[in-house]
Structure 1
Amino acid sequence: MPNQPAEISLNRLELDKASILAVIVSLLADELKSLRYLSVHHIGSELWDASTLIGDVHETCESDQYPIAIGADSLELLSLATRVATFFNIYDSGLEDYLLRFKTIGEWAELVVNARLRGSENLTFATSGSTGTPKQCPQKWDVLVNEAHFFAKYLGPDTEQPAQRIIALSPCHHIYGFIFSVLLPLQLQLPVIRGPQALALINQRKMQAGDLLIGFPFIWGQLTRQGACFAEGITAITSTGPCDPRLIRQLRQQGLERMIEVYGSSETGGIGMRGDPESPFKLLPRWQRGSHADSLSECVSGSDYELNDQLQWLDQAYFRPIGRRDKAVKVGGINVFPASISERLQSLPEVAAAAVRLMSPLEGERLKAFIVPAEGQDDEVALKALLQAWCTCNLTVAERPKAFTFGSKLPRSALGKESDWPL
């Protein structure tokens, strides 16, 4: 029997200005990261608020009114406005031109409020892929609200471990971060702590029972290596990629009460969930098994969705992802393609052969490269420096290998297949 559609909340959920402001800050920081080739930590977005000037303070006659300015030039400003207009579907209200007339983040947030009143209800998320143009993924507002409503019932006041506070370690402009650190706290009327403040709360051991941590595998790996301690009664939710069971077990040893894994994507939203890394995922109420193994069907519309993952079905409701069909891996929540990076490295005249892999959980969460030097490249120190410089100039942060190993031939198994190598 197919799953029944999710119950629709009786109370109309709507974004408030504070939530919109948080999403705009996250969007602008992410866009500037790409435009300026900086890490998000160098953007300084933790200091931005409603009064922050988006443009260059030197281009306004009222510079004294803006203690903080992003300093976007005319081309950056156009990119930032396009990013915000696309995410909030402002084009549906016809108000998109007003973004360039307003100066501050708070004025942009107010415009989004007005746009939503005029019909800009749905949202458009972007995939996190690092090759090519990110894919735009429109999502209906009611679908997002229904998913938040489902998890609000699962984590709300009528449960054994009700959430009391949201500690958000994931950016809220991604669909996962949006559902769990914007919609869920609105549904449950809970406070949210984000970004550096959230990390400081963990590092200073100021968490408390009822805290709900919203993160992803990269950050969980960081917390295990730091030896973070968790107070009794803390729940964590992970998504954006598979979380190694060893990480979850280690976090449990460090005091974490429970870890909930949510499987999904920007294209689909949440698909399934589980509370035990050894168990299969269970479909969320929106979905049923599709016409073939690697597809899903919406219960209400019957629309089919092709998945990027291969799924192993145990029955009509339970499944296990068994690998990406496109051979992508996640680095910091971003899709990267090791085979493509290997080919680019191997095209360099100094490299005879190259292999790129994701590090093991014990090694880290970044990529590593095995390099067979070309003839005459005997100085490994110089070659490593050359490769690191090339990667900095030609690869995104997530694509750059953080460890290089050199050898006379690529590692192979006894059967002749490419194999892993230790650092």
Structure 2
Amino acid sequence: MKAFVIPRERIARIIAALAAEELGARFKRHVDFLTLAGWSEETPLGAGGLALSKSERAACARRAADFFGLDPVLIDAAGAERLADWARAAEDGATRSLTVMRFTPAGRDSEREACAHPADEVFADAAAAANLLYGRRRMISLVAPHGLLGFSTTVLTPNLLRIPCLDARGLSPDALGETLAFGDVLVATPTLWRYVIREGVLAPDNAMGVSFGEPMTSDLAAEMRKAGFGAIREFYGSTETGLVAWRDSPDEAFILFDCWRRDGEKMLRRSPSGAVRRVKAMDILHWESERSFRLGGRRDGAVQVGAVNVFPDRIAETISRHRFVESCEVSADGRPGGITRLIAHIRLNAEIPPTEQTAREIDAWCRTQLGSHERPRIYHFEAEPLRRDDEPSA
């Protein structure tokens, strides 16, 4: 089990990411990317750091405890002042007994429950990823470490490979380019990969790119190879299922990892304990063989914005509660380059003028009611309600 020992510094960053997500989902308190990247073991829980209120502190401690399968009392012991104190408690508890871990889907609301996974299955996911990344000298990560795929791939997998993992979320593009070295593997979501490529980051010899969280597109993969990433691995999975499959090119089908097999329209997963469970993927899978498939659309109506699943119907329902709004529908606009924007189609109450100021007021309200990935980027005021099968207006 030594390969799965998590350094305290990494535990602190996991807890920081969990806290930031909890603050956003439950308290509508947004923590910007650079602030989060700067939170470390030494960051205070109170003033000058996370600045947690009593209720926020309790919620964040509970979220950290759930992640590691512990009692919240063990995390937030009396006298805890820094993230290091919570990390130490999590490290001690996880070392004694880590049998179940809980991961919450990104973009969920405060009422959705976390997904429980046996720890041995999470470790098995890391081993599967390690088999495909063997030979790398170092891992550079741009993804948060608290999601199931991020945790397996960027926290546990480097332990198995016995390589260091650098959390690069706070680096500028220039600093990232200077950091990359021969034999590195850079891990990012497609949204972050587009940013890396657009900023002109070039890879050294023998560098690999790993992607997950959203489907990779052929044009993005081509740009990554032009930038010097000669080898690319794309992983498929979700918080609900764990790591399921992989491929080397968007033009290829995904291939199941060894612990999975097809079972009609569902899949069977065999855990290291020998237990078998039947699973339905979150996406529609078009099977090409018993061990390979291509992705269809989501089953639950979610769309992905920056590797976060958001639900247009739920967003529209929230916007419809604004005092200016009679009705609302939200659509997703897939732009060239794979960037997805949300567009709100709004029918205003009769006395409200369709002005820029009206849009600004609705947007300001959305900032208090919706997560950053859920906020529409465009507001269209419609004379009549938009039918669901209509194209978005220009």
Change in 2 beyond 3 A, CA 1:96/1:359: same
Partner of 1:118: 96
1:248-269 Cα deviation digits (max 9, x unpaired):
2232233322321111111221
Partner of 1:28: 19
1:265 equivalent to 2:256? Answer: no
1:191 equivalent to 2:164? Answer: yes
Instruction: Give distance in 2, aligned partners of 1:180 and 1:363.
Output: 24
1:40 to 9, 27, 31: 31
TM-score by length of 1: 0.81
Change in 2 beyond 3 A, CA 1:385/1:48: closer
1:323 equivalent to 2:294? Answer: no
Partner of 1:73: 53
Aligned positions, number: 390
1:53 equivalent to 2:44? Answer: yes
Change in 2 beyond 3 A, CA 1:311/1:83: same
2:314 to 323, 326, 340: 340
1:128-143 correspondence to structure 2 within 5 Å: 128-131=106-109, 133-143=111-121
Change in 2 beyond 3 A, CA 1:347/1:15: closer
Instruction: Give distance in 2, aligned partners of 1:227 and 1:200.
Output: 8
Partner of 2:184: 211
Partner of 1:287: 260
For the Cα contact (< 8 Å) 2:3–2:156, is it kept in 1?
no
The residue type equivalent to 1:365 in the other structure is T
For the Cα contact (< 8 Å) 1:201–1:207, is it kept in 2?
no
Instruction: Give distance in 2, aligned partners of 1:287 and 1:363.
Output: 29
Partner of 1:166: 139
Q: Which stretch has the larger CA shift, 77-86 or 333-342?
A: 333-342
1:174-185 correspondence to structure 2 within 5 Å: 174-185=147-158
For the Cα contact (< 8 Å) 1:169–1:198, is it kept in 2?
no
Instruction: Give distance in 1, aligned partners of 2:77 and 2:256.
Output: 40
1:380 equivalent to 2:360? Answer: no
1:351 CA drift (Å): 5.4
Partner of 1:417: 389
1:180-228 Cα deviation digits (max 9, x unpaired):
1110111112222214444446654442222211111221232343343
Partner of 1:231: 204
SS in 2 for 1:209: coil
1:8-27 correspondence to structure 2 within 5 Å: 13-27=4-18
For the Cα contact (< 8 Å) 1:221–1:361, is it kept in 2?
no
Partner of 1:391: 366
Instruction: Give distance in 1, aligned partners of 2:338 and 2:383.
Output: 23
TM-score by length of 2: 0.87
SS in 2 for 1:124: strand
2:69 to 67, 86, 89: 89
User: Aligned-residue CA RMSD in angstroms?
Assistant: 3.0
The residue type equivalent to 2:65 in the other structure is A
Partner of 1:65: none
Partner of 2:228: 255
Change in 2 beyond 3 A, CA 1:353/1:89: closer
For the Cα contact (< 8 Å) 1:342–1:356, is it kept in 2?
no
Unaligned runs of 5+ in 2: none
Unaligned runs of 5+ in 1: 1-8, 57-67, 157-161
For the Cα contact (< 8 Å) 2:25–2:110, is it kept in 1?
no
The residue type equivalent to 2:55 in the other structure is L
1:351-382 Cα deviation digits (max 9, x unpaired):
56644214424483332234456656554323
Instruction: Give distance in 1, aligned partners of 2:310 and 2:75.
Output: 35
Partner of 2:269: 298
SS in 2 for 1:54: coil
SS in 2 for 1:285: coil
Change in 2 beyond 3 A, CA 1:89/1:337: same
Instruction: Give distance in 2, aligned partners of 1:347 and 1:111.
Output: 42
Instruction: Give distance in 2, aligned partners of 1:117 and 1:42.
Output: 30
Q: Percent identity, aligned pairs only?
A: 24
For the Cα contact (< 8 Å) 1:244–1:361, is it kept in 2?
no
Instruction: Give distance in 1, aligned partners of 2:49 and 2:330.
Output: 43
1:97 CA drift (Å): 6.6
For the Cα contact (< 8 Å) 1:165–1:192, is it kept in 2?
yes
1:235 CA drift (Å): 1.4
1:105 equivalent to 2:113? Answer: no
The residue type equivalent to 2:182 in the other structure is A
Instruction: Give distance in 2, aligned partners of 1:354 and 1:267.
Output: 27
Q: Which stretch has the larger CA shift, 311-320 or 117-126?
A: 117-126
